[in-house]
Amino acid sequence: MDDLRIAAVVMRSVLGKTQDNLNRMKTWVGEVASQGADLVCFPELNLTGYSVRKIIRSVAEPIPGPSSRAVVEMARESGILILAGLVERDGEGRIFASHLVAGPEGLQGVYRKCHLSPFEQRLYCAGEAISVFRFKGGNFGIELCYDTHFPELSTLLALKEADILFCPHASPRGTPEQKQRSWLRHLTARAYDNGLFVVACNQTGTNGHGLQFPGLALVVNPSGEVIAERIGEKEGALFADLKAADLAHVRENKMRFFLPNRRPELYEGLVKPRTAG
């Protein structure tokens, strides 16, 4: 991959105030573009807001739709790649927690959250595709919040040659410091085990319907080290320069890059459902 300057935005997203969320998002896109970002990542469902109540159905949109077209226009005006989230409604009326990949050339793809929490399963449908997107000579994948607790997903993305995992969150409750401790337990492991960068950002503040988010953004390098973080509930952008040399430092060292030494013939049990007891 080429050297890449990324921005991860901590943003408040009020449920049902999609236009307001879009307006604030546009301000952040302009801000990070002016500071040289090649790519900006926003939190999970930052456009529509997040909820596990039935009201979430009322804010769902098709893709393409009004919000996705607005994001594409932001990408065209700013000249950068934008990752942004919304509740997607398909032609059958099902809803998904989805994340857009929009560039100056148009909508490049959509990731639908594959792993749903027990509360989300009552309303949302799970995605079935594990996609890798190409940008600036490299590849990246997207995992949404609860997805990050499943190591197999990160490994599959790494095997598909992802160099970066973007992990937008809508993770409520707790203080920023508590959320940081939680993220450090598993996000650093995803980076270290798979030899790739991990970029994560969370919503902040109240969603206007009973949930409070503690903010937080961080970036982890392929050695599993945190190289940038933003702790606190104030909205803001975290910048990081992802260096090709840091990726090569791990992947060109036989003792630092573990994936080539996997033994998939031993892992048959991974695809079997867990039995009770």
pLDDT of residue 276: 56
pLDDT of residue 271: 83
Residue 226 within a domain:
yes
Please say if the pLDDT value at position 228 is more than 90: yes
Please say if the pLDDT value at position 275 is more than 90: no
What is the pLDDT averaged over residues 6-34? 98
In whole numbers, what is the pLDDT of the chain averaged over residues?
96
What is the pLDDT averaged over residues 17-38? 98
Pair 207, 46: CB distance under 8 Å: no
Total-model pTM: 0.96
pLDDT of residue 78: 98
Which pLDDT tens digit goes with each residue over 195-227?
A: 999 999 999 999 999 999 999 999 999 999 999
What is the pLDDT averaged over residues 4-8? 98
Which pLDDT tens digit goes with each residue over 86-125?
A: 999 999 999 999 999 999 999 999 999 999 999 999 999 9
The β-bridge relationship of strands 138-142 and 132-135 is: antiparallel
* Confidence bin at 7 (pLDDT 50/70/90): very high
**The total number of structural domains that make up the chain:** 1
Residue 82 belongs to domain spanning: 4-271
User: Which residues lie closer than 8 Å to 206 by C-beta, 6 or more apart?
Assistant: 12, 14, 212, 213
Please say if the pLDDT value at position 140 is more than 90: yes
Please say if the pLDDT value at position 42 is more than 80: yes
Residue 15 within a domain:
yes
Q: Cα separation of 30 and 26, whole Å?
A: 6
The CATH number linked to 66 is: 3.60.110.10
Residue 13 within a domain:
yes
Residue 277 within a domain:
no
Pair 170, 213: CB distance under 8 Å: yes
Tokens at 199, concatenated: 């970029």
Tokens at 205, concatenated: 């503040």
Tell which residue, 95, 171, 170, has the closest CA to residue 127.
Answer: 95
Q: Cα separation of 79 and 4, whole Å?
A: 14
Residue 276 within a domain:
no
* Confidence bin at 270 (pLDDT 50/70/90): confident
Q: Cα separation of 268 and 180, whole Å?
A: 34
Residue 71 within a domain:
yes
Helix (H, G, I), strand (E, B) or coil at 53: coil
